[in-house]
Amino acid sequence: STANAPEDDAPNRYSRTERTTFSRYSRDANSSGSSLPSNTLEKRIEELERELAKERQENARLIKVAQDKEELIGKLKEEIDLLNR
């Protein structure tokens, strides 16, 4: 069922505890693989998730602005056509 999830939901597909648990298991299996402490990595993940949420919100706002402008352009074109007649 996760294969049918929209791309937007990909970061939210697993709860924070599941991701944390997974990262702990990965770290235990790979203890020499990373020199950064786990709490630093978890804080960085949370920071990146917040940034991603902000970027998505800004992207949605910009899409709405672009749609509004396209709608206005269409209305103005119709008005110009009427005036030309």
Q: Does residue 77 fall inside a structural domain? A: yes
Exposure string over 29-53, b if 16+ CB within 10 A, otherwise e = eeeeeeeeeeeeeeeeeeeeeeeee
Exposure string over 54-71, b if 16+ CB within 10 A, otherwise e = eeeeeeeeeeeeeeeeee
Total domains in the chain come to 1
Per-residue model confidence as pLDDT tens digits over 30-55: 555 556 788 999 999 999 999 999 99
Q: Does residue 19 fall inside a structural domain? A: no
Q: Does residue 5 fall inside a structural domain? A: no
Q: Does residue 1 fall inside a structural domain? A: no
User: Which amino acid, residue 45?
Assistant: I
Q: Does residue 62 fall inside a structural domain? A: yes
Q: Does residue 78 fall inside a structural domain? A: yes
How confident is the model at residue 19, as a pLDDT? 54
Q: Is the pLDDT of residue 22 over 90?
A: no
Q: Does residue 71 fall inside a structural domain? A: yes
Q: Is the pLDDT of residue 13 over 50?
A: yes
Q: Does residue 27 fall inside a structural domain? A: no
Structural domain range at position 45? 37-84
